[in-house]
Amino acid sequence: MSFLSEIQRRRTFGIISHPDAGKTTLTEKLLLFGGAIQEAGAVKSNKIKKGATSDFMEIERQRGISVATSVLAFEYNGIKINILDTPGHKDFAEDTFRTLTAVDSVIVVIDVAKGVEEQTEKLVEVCRMRNIPMLVFINKLDREGKDAFDLLDEVEQKLGLTVCPLSFPIGMGYDFKGIYNLWEKNVNIFTGDPKKDIEDTVEINDLNSPELEKLVGEKHANDLRDNIELVNGIYPEFNKEDYLKGIQQPVFFGSALNNFGVRELLDCFVEIAPKPRPKQSEERLVKPEEKDFSGFVFKIHANMDPNHRNRLAFVKIVSGEFHRNNPYLHVRNGKKMKFSSPNAFFAEKKEIVDVSYPGDIVGLQDSGNFKIGDTLTEGEILNYKGIPSFSPEHFRYINNADPMKSKQLYKGIDQLMDEGVAQLFTLELNGRKVIGTVGALQYEVIQYRLEHEYGAKCTYENLNVHKACWVDPEDTKSEEFKDFKRVKQRFLAKDKSGQLVFLADSMFTLQMTEQKYPNIKFHYTSEFD
Ligand code: GDP
């Protein structure tokens, strides 16, 4: 197969949802369709169970699962599909944000009864800002839930999307009869048998056909006709270009657990979802079809085995072919590197491969050379944008609890930060180190891993910080900036890349500071124009 057809047939995406909406179940059904797994229950949930905060074995177990499910790849009708795992747990939201830099589209799963939930809102916002094409799957139609139109309204209002229903439910919960597929113009009758690979699908080209009454009864037939008329009246027609631009979002209804409506979603997905998209680097826009290889690290996973400290760096290929044993330039440190055993991912397993294509993810063994956001190329200086750090929510001083092991401690902190577990800030005033995280859970993970992987011990001390703001002065030589640095000295720190950060202890302080120093901008993320 030619290089260009390899690119054309790739679809790399992520499934995002609030925990429990059905992401794992949907993933599993998709893999079943692709023949990648044989039975349900094969995909382990990477959910952090309640109470896991105090159970470190559980954390390790979860880490093992999350390595296994980081990338799930399978083939469907000649299309190579790569699903990138996005943890739903809010403490790992940053992992998900970073993974979203490596997807070309997403599927958003929403629980029909719970509607739009908090994590979905946050994740969709990130996708919307980046114009990532999104498909919406409303799940659990076999249960009582919200009215379909109310849900569509909620999706539009809370998520700021412009929806276009491509399927519509007939009944719901105990009275759920099936789904009318506006995309294929047919009715799928719900049998409630999850083992059935193909549901009973009946072509209905004309909704006025009496055939509909025979299938779902008079009341449902009439309701459906009214509903579809409303749908056609209210919502825009499906427009593939708008979907690809991220300004229109097709919606499907179904039940992942019952394998219902999943094939329709998949069939539509492979037809409309984008092939690998061009990516903006600081230097220029890079197209997948370019001959020269380039890619970036979006995730780093430490080895579970403490005796093998190697890590796995996940690289998304943006352009060109990636070949085993070819020398590639690690742009940040200016060194050429060769990889003798790059991993490609399949459903639940990884294998060494000789060549990978744009859209694919390769896993590279790493002894500590990579950090998140690093770019690899054939020699060109390129730096891929779009992996910013966000202001953490929690801040604590980290102290060394075993003076004999300070070297180990600093090495451990350094490597865990490269993996993106948390962010390190070093105070300007006294060099004390502050760890910022998205969730409280990370502090325990860090403490545990420092001890088990690096033989170092740490303690934490509370620190009252509301937000970390990256400081962006108009003029670094101005009196205003000098005054700011002097007055706020106690609250200034450097992040790991040496950027200046203001640790504001309250919203009020931040507002006062912004007023006092109008020519200094304060950003909640590390990347700004
Ligand atoms: P995740 O946290 O988003 O990965 O959610 P899971 O896939 O683990 O699903 C959460 C729970 O919802 C599990 O108990 C599933 O069996 C259940 N579930 C998923 N899909 C459906 C569905 O279509 N109908 C019903 N009734 N339950 C579902």
Give pLDDT tens digits for 227-249: 999 999 999 999 999 999 999 99
The verdict on whether residue 323 carries a ligand-binding annotation is no
pLDDT at 174: 87
Q: In testing the pocket of ligand 1, which one of 32, 257, 258, 259 has its CB within 8 Å of the most ligand atoms?
A: 257
pLDDT above 50 (res 52): no
The verdict on the CB of residue 20 being under 6 Å from ligand 1 is yes
> Taking Cα atoms as reference points, which of 50, 129, 142, 104 lies closest to residue 359?
104
Mean pLDDT of the 286-294 span: 97
Q: Name the CATH architecture for the domain at 3-174+237-272.
A: 3-Layer(aba) Sandwich (3.40)
Please choose, from the candidates 364, 348, 361, the residue with its C-alpha nearest in 3D space to the C-alpha of residue 68: 348
**Which pLDDT score is estimated for 128?**
92
CA of 22 to the centre of ligand 1 (A): 4
Ligand 1 centroid from CA 486, angstroms: 54
| pLDDT at position 187 | 85
Cβ of residue 19 lying under 6 Å from some atom of ligand 1 = yes
- Measure 178 CA to ligand 1 centroid, in angstroms: 19
Q: Residues 6 or more apart from 158 whose CB is under 8 A from it?
A: 115, 116, 121
Q: ipTM of this model?
A: 0.99
Query: Which pLDDT score is estimated for 37?
Result: 65
> Quick check: CB of 257 below 6 Å from ligand 1?
yes
Q: What is the pLDDT of residue 227?
A: 95
* Cα 134 to ligand 1 centroid, rounded to whole Å: 21
Residue 47 has pLDDT above 70, yes or no: no
Question: Which contiguous run of DSSP H or E holds residue 100?
Answer: none
Task: Assess whether pLDDT exceeds 90 at residue 204.
Answer: no
**Pick from 120, 159, 90: nearest CA to 393:** 90
Superfamily name and number for 279-377 = P-loop containing nucleotide triphosphate hydrolases (3.40.50.300)
CB under 8 Å to 407, separation ≥6 — which residues?
none
Q: 241: buried, middle or exposed (CB in 10 Å: 19+, 13-18, 0-12)?
A: exposed
φ, ψ for residue 198 (rounded to 5)? -115, 125
Residue 155 one-letter amino acid: V
Measured in Å, residue 16 CA sits from the centre of ligand 1 at: 14
Residue identifier of the C-alpha nearest atom 20 of ligand 1: 257
Closest CA to 104 of 75, 133, 69: 133
Determine the distance separating the centroid of ligand 1 and the alpha carbon of 126, expressed in angstroms. 24
Q: How many whole angstroms separate alpha carbon 488 and alpha carbon 479?
A: 14
What pLDDT score was predicted for residue 198? 53
Which pairs from 225-234 meet CB under 8 Å and 24+ separation?
Answer: 227/148, 227/149, 227/168, 228/168, 228/180, 228/182, 230/149, 231/165, 231/168, 231/182
Q: Is residue 424 a contact partner of residue 450, using CB atoms and an 8 Å limit?
A: no
Cα of 139 vs centre of ligand 1, distance in Å, is 8
Determine the residue of 17, 18, 20 to mutate for testing ligand 1's pocket, defined as the one with the most ligand atoms within 8 A of the Cβ atom: 20
User: How far is it, in rounded angstroms, from Cα 45 to Cα 320?
Assistant: 33
Helix 262-272 and helix 23-33: axis angle, to 10°?
70
**Ligand 1 in reach of 87 Cβ (< 6 A):** no
Nearest-atom index, ligand 1, CA of 19: 2
Its pTM stands at 0.86
394-523 shares the fold of 3-174+237-272? no
Q: How far is the CA of 260 from the centre of ligand 1 (A)?
A: 13
Rg (CA), the chain: 25
pLDDT(51) > 50: no
Q: Are the CB atoms for 188 and 168 separated by under 8 Å?
A: no
Whether 21 is in the pocket of ligand 1, judged by its Cβ within 6 Å, is yes
- CB of 301 within 8 A of CB of 67? yes
Q: Atom 2 (ligand 1): residue with closest C-alpha?
A: 20
Cβ of 127 less than 6 Å from ligand 1: no
Q: Is 142 in the pocket of ligand 1 (CB under 6 A)?
A: yes
Q: Which pair of structure tokens corresponds to residue 486?
A: 């002097």
224, 168 contact by CB (below 8 A) = yes
Q: Which of 50-59, 320-329, 411-420 has the lowest mean pLDDT?
A: 50-59
* Ranges of each domain in the chain: 3-174+237-272, 279-377, 394-523
What residue owns the CA closest to ligand 1's atom 17?
A: 22
Do the annotations mark residue 86 as ligand-binding? yes
Question: Which conformational region is residue 420 in: left (phi greater than 0), alpha (psi within -120 to 50 degrees), or beta?
Answer: left
pLDDT of 290 above 90: yes
Amino acid at 244: L
User: Mean pLDDT, to the nearest integer, of 93-106?
Assistant: 89
pLDDT in the model for residue 236: 94
Residue with tokens 């750090």: 389
Q: Write out the two tokens for 245.
A: 């631009």
Residue 256 Cβ contacting ligand 1 at under 6 Å = yes
| C-alpha of residue 263 to centroid of ligand 1, in Å | 17
pLDDT score of 93: 76
Q: Which of 191-195, 233-237, 257-261 reaches the highest mean pLDDT?
A: 233-237
pLDDT value of position 189:
84
Architecture, CATH, for domain 394-523: 2-Layer Sandwich (3.30)
The helix (H) or strand (E) run that includes residue 200 is strand 200-203
Q: Which residues contact 76 (CB under 8 A, 6 or more apart)?
A: 33, 34, 266, 270
223 or 95, greater pLDDT: 223
